[in-house]
Each structure stands twice: as C-alpha cells, then as structure tokens.
C-alpha cells in the first residue's frame, strides 16, 4: 500500500515553532533572516539557506530538514506476515485529502487477531478477518481523537464479548483501561502499553512482540519524518517519542496513525525532530 508521507517540511517547521512558542518574527530574528524569508518557508517555498538557518533555532536536524523539503527520501514499503494497514479517507474542512490508518495484527500460527484503532470504517478489515480465517479477540485504541475511533461501535460489535482497551488517561466507551507498562497477552503474541502522550492527553504506543519482527503501533505520537502536533505539550511529546519509541530496536516497524509505515532506524536517520540520533 503506497501512502504519502503525512507532513511536508513546512508542517514540521510550524509544529516546531508553535511548540517552542516562536512566531514568525521571533523565528526570523533568532535565525538572522528577513521575516519574508521565514514566511516563505512556512508557505512551502524551499530555500536551503533559509532552512539551514532556522533548523538550529528550532532544534531540528538541518540535513534531514533539507532532505525532506527536497523529497529526497521515503521509506521502502513494509510487509510482514501478521500485520496489515488500512488507510481510509477522513476528509476535514481545509484538508479534504486527509486519511487515517488502522491496523490488524495476528499470529500466523494461531490466527488470533487484534485490531488497533478503527479509522473511518472497518469494512476492509472485517472482510480480511473472514478471508484469512482469523479470530478477532479485541480492539485496542491509541487515543480517542475521532478519526481513530469513527467505527468503534461497529468493530466492537464484531468482537465476541465486545472486548476493547483504551488508555487510562483517555478513556472511551466501555473499553478496559490500560496504564503505562501494562501487558496484554494473546495466543501467539504480546502487547506492551507505553505512555507516549503529548499529542493527546493519554496517547499510547503499543509494542508487539512475538511476530517475525517487533512492531510498535504509535498512533499520532510519531509519523514518518514528523510527529503529531503537540502545541501545548511539545517537550513532553519529544521526550516520550525519544525515550519510549526511538529507543526500541532499529528494525521495529512503526505503525503511525497517518502516513506510511516506517522503522525506528529510518526515523533515527531521517526524522528532522531528532537530531541527537544523526
């Protein structure tokens, strides 16, 4: 499945400047640039000199930022037996092209499956459950923003016993609540909850062990080449992503709420928000 990278370089600039409380004029002054040059960057005009000037002010990696602006890198498609991504349209006013991801994880040996988030609809996911002969044992929610839970009732109704889980700091419906460090055990794999809030009050990442490669369902905590917006809790979001996601083994598959799947090694090397890994 070919999914476009969610954020453009100007989105990264806006998220970083907003998180640090820097308006256009303040950013321009600290970077030693005319205000018009900063405004042009935020409108998506690529200028390498200006990008390299603002990067250190925003604590962004300059080389990664320039590479992103030039669209010089994108992740290779990721396929793993027991993992499937569902990318569904969720148009918003002013962002009609928005899509959202949900995921199905299962043990190829036991056929036990768990859904992570719902996206806009679960038609394709539920069809695959039938086609692949899977037993759907639960739904796990990364956070309660409406694009991630739009088909919650429909999906829970398809699960025997209506079993669902959500973060304790961001409860939803009748879902059982998870705290940082909790484990869920299923026949063929295990799921560890890691608190990675910042983008949302209780956002969770779920690390899955037991398949052919480690997986982390990261919700909107981290994107390929970016991270979820966190204007009020920017430092917290960065710290959580750094310590609880990018500390995982490099081959860990990262499954974000928007944009393509990636890996820890990819984001350490290419994500502008984390210069300390370069």
Which pTM value belongs to this model? 0.97
| Separation in Å, CA 86 to CA 17, 72, 226 | 32, 26, 20
The predicted-structure confidence for 108-138, as pLDDT tens digits, reads as follows 999 999 999 999 999 999 999 999 999 999 9
DSSP line for 106-156: E-TTT-EEEEE---S--HHHHHHHHHTT-EEEEEE-S---GGGSTTHHHHH
pLDDT of residue 235: 98
**Cα–Cα dist 223/221, whole Å:** 7
Q: How does the average pLDDT of the chain come out, rounded? A: 97
DSSP lists the bridge partners of residue 88 as 100
Residue found by looking up tokens 């490099």 in the block: 250
* For range 175-189, the mean pLDDT: 98
DSSP line for 170-209: S--TTPEEE-TT-EEEETTEEEEEEE--SSSTT-EEEEEE
The predicted-structure confidence for 225-236, as pLDDT tens digits, reads as follows 999 999 999 999
Q: CATH 1.10.260.40: which residues of the chain?
A: 9-69
Q: Could you tell me which of 246, 227, 216, 218 has the C-alpha nearest to residue 83?
A: 216
pLDDT-based confidence at residue 88 (cuts at 50, 70, 90)? very high
pLDDT-based confidence at residue 186 (cuts at 50, 70, 90)? very high
* For range 178-185, the mean pLDDT: 98
pLDDT-based confidence at residue 258 (cuts at 50, 70, 90)? very high
pLDDT-based confidence at residue 164 (cuts at 50, 70, 90)? very high
* For range 135-149, the mean pLDDT: 97
* For range 193-201, the mean pLDDT: 97
pLDDT of residue 27: 98
pLDDT-based confidence at residue 10 (cuts at 50, 70, 90)? very high
CB 152 within 8 A of CB 175: no
pLDDT of residue 22: 98
**Residues 6+ positions from 48 with CB-CB distance below 8 Å:** 66, 69
The four Cα atoms 181, 212, 2, 277 give a dihedral, to 10 degrees, of: 60
pLDDT of residue 224: 98
pLDDT of residue 189: 98
pLDDT of residue 41: 98
| Separation in Å, CA 101 to CA 181, 213, 219, 235 | 24, 20, 9, 25
* For range 243-266, the mean pLDDT: 98
CATH of domain 9-69: 1.10.260.40
**Residues 6+ positions from 259 with CB-CB distance below 8 Å:** 3, 4, 5, 6, 7, 101, 223, 224, 225, 226
**What number of CA atoms fall less than 13 Å from residue 267's CA on the CB side?**
31
- Check whether 78 has a pLDDT greater than 80: yes
**Cα–Cα dist 139/163, whole Å:** 7
**Cα–Cα dist 99/247, whole Å:** 28
pLDDT of residue 157: 97
**For helices 48-57 and 35-42, angle between their N-to-C axes, nearest 10 degrees:** 90
pLDDT of residue 87: 98
- Check whether 1 has a pLDDT greater than 80: no
Q: CATH 3.60.15.10: which residues of the chain?
A: 83-277
Bridge pairing between strands 135-140 and 226-227: unpaired
pLDDT-based confidence at residue 194 (cuts at 50, 70, 90)? very high
CB 224 within 8 A of CB 233: no
Residues in the chain: 278
CATH of domain 83-277: 3.60.15.10
The predicted-structure confidence for 28-39, as pLDDT tens digits, reads as follows 999 999 999 999
Q: Could you tell me which of 88, 131, 137 has the C-alpha nearest to residue 115?
A: 137
The predicted-structure confidence for 13-61, as pLDDT tens digits, reads as follows 999 999 999 999 999 999 999 999 999 999 999 999 999 999 999 999 9
């Amino acid at each position: 499945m070919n999914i476009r990278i969610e954020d453009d370089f100007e989105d990264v600039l806006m998220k970083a400047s907003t998180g640090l409380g820097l308006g256009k004029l303040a950013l321009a002054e600290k970077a030693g640039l005319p205000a018009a040059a900063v405004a042009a960057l935020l409108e998506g005009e690529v200028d390498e000199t200006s990008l390299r000037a603002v990067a250190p002010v925003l604590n962004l990696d300059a080389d990664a930022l320039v590479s992103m602006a030039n669209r010089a890198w994108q992740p290779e498609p990721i396929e793993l037996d027991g993992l499937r991504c569902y990318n569904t349209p969720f148009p918003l006013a002013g962002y009609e092209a928005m899509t959202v991801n949900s995921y199905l994880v299962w043990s190829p040996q036991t056929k036990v499956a768990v859904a992570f988030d719902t996206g806009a609809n679960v038609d394709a996911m539920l069809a695959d459950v039938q086609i692949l002969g899977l037993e759907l044992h639960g739904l796990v929610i990364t956070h309660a923003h409406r694009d991630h839970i739009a088909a919650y009732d429909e999906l829970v109704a398809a699960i025997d016993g209506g079993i669902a889980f959500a973060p304790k700091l961001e409860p939803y419906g009748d879902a059982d609540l998870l705290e940082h460090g909790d484990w869920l055990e299923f026949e063929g794999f295990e799921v560890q909850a890691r608190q990675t809030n910042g983008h949302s009050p209780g956002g969770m990442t779920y690390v899955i062990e037991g398949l052919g490669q480690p997986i982390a369902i990261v919700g909107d905590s981290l994107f390929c080449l970016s991270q979820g917006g966190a204007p009020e809790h920017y430092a917290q979001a960065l710290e959580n992503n750094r310590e609880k996601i990018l500390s995982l083994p490099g081959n860990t598959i990262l499954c974000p709420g928007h944009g393509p799947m990636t890996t820890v090694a990819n984001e350490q090397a290419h994500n502008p928000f984390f210069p300390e890994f370069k």
